[in-house]
Amino acid sequence: MFANKAKFLLPAALCGLLLSACSDSSGPPPQPVVTPVDSATAGSIAIRVRYAGEVPEPVEINMRASGKCAELHDEPVYDRPVQVDDGRLANAVVYIKSGLGDRAFQHPTEPLVIDQRGCLYHPRVSAMMVGQPLEFLNSDPEAHNVRGRPEKVSSWNFMMSRPKSTRTVYFDKSEIGIRVGCDVHPWMSAYVSVLPNPYFGVTGKNGEVQLTNVPPGEYVVATWHETLGEREVTVKLEPRGKQSATIDY
């Protein structure tokens, strides 16, 4: 029923019910036949993401209505989807959208971990590769369900009621900006992007992402932001080139 799409694997479901912490024993999809990158000719692309518009006022999250969440914070908690520092936009996913042809890349076996802590997701915005494990961790003394609302891969939904429990999902195709949420605490939002190549990153405070070990070529590099949408730029990379580009919102 989950064939060819996001795999929420049954053994993991069972072990999640029985144990406080466990991971998938079924394992990720097999590694593809990899197209090697010649490091002697590879280069790098630096992308800077800027935002010139108005930054929405942060909205205080009312956690008092839901269980223990409010007790987990000493200070008021604000929702800040648009984070801008000195004109630089954080939490934008930067990735090579096209230009790599049919190259195939090894996926990491290290999981991307999204922690549920203080009734918030950490990190809020993240990116990973197709085939890489995505591990949800519950660090709270509070039950959360994890509902994925993708458009291309299959949706998933499971409950995580025990502190320090983990659950793992896998993807065998790519999708940008999959929304993850919790029905118990409707303010909880995370966004995961699943990429078919290793050339991606999420901007931090400086609004920058470095793509390294990129083969020479002409690429469409795209950015995605949860409320500001997508932008693209074309970058031509010579052998051993160092290119940089700015993307403006």
Q: Under the rule (CB under 5 A), what is the footprint of Cu ion?
A: 144, 182, 184-185
Contacts of residue 156, defined as CB under 8 A and 6 or more positions apart, other chains included, come to 6, 8, 146, 147, 148, 169
18 in helix, strand or coil?
A: helix
Q: How far is the CB of 184 from Cu ion (least distance, A)?
A: 4
Cβ distance to Cu ion smaller for residue 67 or 204:
67
Cβ distance to Cu ion smaller for residue 24 or 140:
140
| β-pair partners for 85 | 88
Q: How crowded is residue 176: how many other Cβ atoms within 10 Å of its Cβ?
A: 20
Distance CA 196, CA 45 (A): 18
| β-pair partners for 157 | 147
Cβ distance to Cu ion smaller for residue 97 or 185:
185
Q: How far is the CB of 165 from Cu ion (least distance, A)?
A: 13
Cβ distance to Cu ion smaller for residue 22 or 184:
184
Question: Which amino acid, one-letter code, is at 178?
Answer: I
Contacts of residue 138, defined as CB under 8 A and 6 or more positions apart, other chains included, come to 115, 116, 144, 160, 161, 162, 163, 164, 165, 166
Q: How far is the CB of 112 from Cu ion (least distance, A)?
A: 19
H-type alpha helices, the chain: 10-18
Q: How far is the CB of 188 from Cu ion (least distance, A)?
A: 5
Q: How far is the CB of 67 from Cu ion (least distance, A)?
A: 9
Cβ distance to Cu ion smaller for residue 16 or 198:
16
Cβ distance to Cu ion smaller for residue 97 or 144:
144
Contacts of residue 174, defined as CB under 8 A and 6 or more positions apart, other chains included, come to 130, 152, 194, 195, 196
Q: How far is the CB of 163 from Cu ion (least distance, A)?
A: 13
